[in-house]
Amino acid sequence: MSSERSAARLREQAMEALRQSTTMLQVASNLLDAGNRAEAVRLKDEARAKRYASVCLTRKANTLESVRSRVQETRDTMSH
């Protein structure tokens, strides 16, 4: 798999984790409104972990794209 496709896949995974986190936070808010504080806190913590995973996946995608860019620059320089 090319680094470009790998970076795109990582970004897709990051967006999915972010969507899941957002949904979890909405549910946690509803639980809090319903008086279920313990479950709301648990779900909020799980959402925070998903957001952290999203940030990590995005960072990995950025690193892959940066490496790919440097490799391409090196190839371009060597071909001249």
Cβ atoms within 10 A of the Cβ of 53, count?
A: 17
What predicted TM-score, i.e. pTM, was given to this entire model?
Answer: 0.81
Domain containing residue 21: 3-79
Pairwise CA distance, residues 51 & 15, whole Å: 9
Looking at the structure of the chain, the number of domains it has is: 1
pLDDT tens, residue by residue, 21-56: 999 999 999 999 999 999 999 999 999 999 999 999
- Residues found in the chain: 80
Pairwise CA distance, residues 68 & 26, whole Å: 38
> Which residue type sits at 60?
K
Q: Are 14 and 54 in contact (CB under 8 A)?
A: yes
